[in-house]
């Protein structure tokens, strides 16, 4: 397999797998494991179709852009503003969750460290790394997706010694957490960076589509194995953040997962900051230095929202901002060409994301 294709696959993988992985065990246990995996897989297929639509838009359009730039070209300035707000909301929600989880993970590894100090410590390292212009597609970070993948496999094998009865949950299947699943499997924001990585390759379109499909499927596999493993290990004691529920019963496992969690959210956070920087630089013609500065300021705003549940943040972010972005991508795809198949896929995408949006409101 072409080395650039492998890098592209794991860049797509790292653009998907982030904080959401630590919410799934709790949600899947309190719904129905088999149904939840089916729902995750279904949303993944719809996400792959959406990603292919975005890839077609990128390849048909000259120049380097993020979603807001493409929206302006195909739909006008109003949709540029809407898509920019959508991307910023995705980034804000994701970074807020990353920082909140970082404080939990650091407290597991260093019990003497308070939540606020943990956030400040993580935020400082994160900001310095961003100012050093270490891109998440650079050599320093290329090994991290492989580390995450191998670590999940090892956790899965460790979980096999625990009884399968812990997977049983008597809760009825539910789509109330559909917004969270949409958030966890969404990965379209990283596609412009993957296109940049593959730009010089002869089979660029083929590799872009392959990396999107394979990267998304690997993410589904990793989510399923991780969720299965945590439920087997901790059963009904699984916590909303996964890690804190393991501290009392399996402290070594908790510390290992906390370290893995820090790696995952660090990588995912840098991906998100890079995307925001590119929006400022590519679509609003702000200088590189100012774009780095503006993108670095976003994580500091989380201190205004520390009291909000991270499950609520993920749900709203996934349901609202990702749905808006998906609808904009569909509208742009209609500008390229029409066919019955395309129209059916667009209906399925919009229907799914609208249901996800409605799922955050209690009946």
- Residue 43 buriedness (CB in 10 A; 0-12 / 13-18 / 19+): buried
153-158's contacts with Cβ under 8 Å and 24+ in sequence apart are 153/225, 155/225, 155/226, 155/229, 155/230, 155/257, 156/225, 156/226, 156/228, 156/229, 158/229, 158/233, 158/253
Give the fold, CATH level 3, of 3-358: Amino acid/polyamine transporter I (1.20.1740)
Residue 137 has pLDDT above 50, yes or no: no
pLDDT tens track for 40-98: 999 999 999 999 999 999 999 988 888 888 999 999 999 988 888 888 877 777 777 88
CB 15 within 8 A of CB 189: yes
Mean predicted lDDT score pLDDT of the chain: 83
Compute the residue count for the chain: 363
User: Could you give the 3-state DSSP secondary structure of residue 291?
Assistant: helix
What pLDDT, on the 0 to 100 scale, is given for residue 363? 46
Sequence-ordered strand ranges (E) for the chain: none
The ranges assigned to domains in the chain are 3-358
- Residue 26's closest CA among 216, 181, 199? 181
Q: Which of these ranges, 59-63, 114-118, 242-246, 320-324, has the smallest mean pLDDT?
A: 114-118
What is the average per-residue pLDDT within 241-251?
Answer: 84
Half-sphere exposure of 85 (CA within 13 A, CB side): 10
- Residue 211 buriedness (CB in 10 A; 0-12 / 13-18 / 19+): buried
Residue 161 has pLDDT above 90, yes or no: no
Residue 109 has pLDDT above 70, yes or no: yes
Residue 171 has pLDDT above 70, yes or no: no
* Rounded Cα distance, 255 and 246, in Å: 9
Q: How far is CA 264 from CA 183, 234, 253, in A?
A: 15, 21, 16
């Amino acid at each position: 397999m072409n080395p650039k294709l492998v890098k592209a696959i794991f860049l797509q993988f790292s653009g998907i797998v982030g904080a959401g992985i630590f919410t799934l065990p709790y949600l899947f246990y309190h719904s129905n494991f088999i149904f939840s995996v089916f729902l995750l897989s279904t949303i993944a297929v719809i996400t792959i179709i959406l990603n292919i639509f975005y890839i077609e838009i990128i390849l048909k359009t000259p120049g380097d852009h993020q979603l807001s730039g493409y929206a302006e070209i195909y739909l006008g300035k109003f949709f540029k503003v809407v898509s920019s707000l959508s991307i910023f909301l995705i980034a804000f929600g994701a970074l807020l969750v990353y920082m909140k989880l970082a404080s939990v993970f650091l407290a597991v590894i260093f019990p003497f460290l308070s939540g606020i100090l943990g956030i400040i410590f993580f935020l400082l390292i994160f900001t310095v790394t961003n100012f050093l212009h270490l891109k998440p597609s650079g050599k320093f970070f290329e090994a991290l997706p492989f580390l995450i993948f191998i670590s999940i496999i090892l956790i899965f094998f460790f979980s096999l010694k625990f009884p399968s009865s812990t997977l049983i949950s008597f809760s009825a299947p539910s789509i109330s957490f559909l917004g969270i699943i949409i958030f966890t499997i969404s990965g379209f924001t990283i596609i412009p960076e993957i296109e940049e990585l593959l730009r010089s390759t002869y089979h660029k379109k083929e590799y872009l589509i392959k990396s999107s499909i394979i990267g998304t499927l690997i993410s589904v596999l990793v989510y399923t194995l991780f969720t299965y493993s945590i439920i087997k290990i901790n059963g009904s004691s699984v916590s909303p953040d996964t890690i804190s529920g393991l501290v009392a019963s399996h402290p070594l496992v908790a510390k290992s997962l906390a370290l893995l969690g820090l790696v995952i959210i660090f990588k995912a956070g840098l991906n998100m900051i890079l995307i925001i920087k590119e929006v400022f630089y590519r679509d609003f013609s702000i200088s590189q230095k100012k774009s780095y500065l503006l993108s670095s300021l976003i994580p500091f705003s989380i201190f205004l929202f520390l009291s909000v549940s991270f499950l609520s943040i993920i749900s709203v972010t996934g349901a609202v901002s990702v749905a808006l972005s998906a609808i904009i991508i569909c509208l742009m795809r209609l500008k390229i060409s029409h066919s019955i198949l395309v129209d059916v896929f667009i209906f399925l995408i919009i229907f799914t994301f609208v249901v996800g949006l409605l799922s955050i409101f209690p009946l």
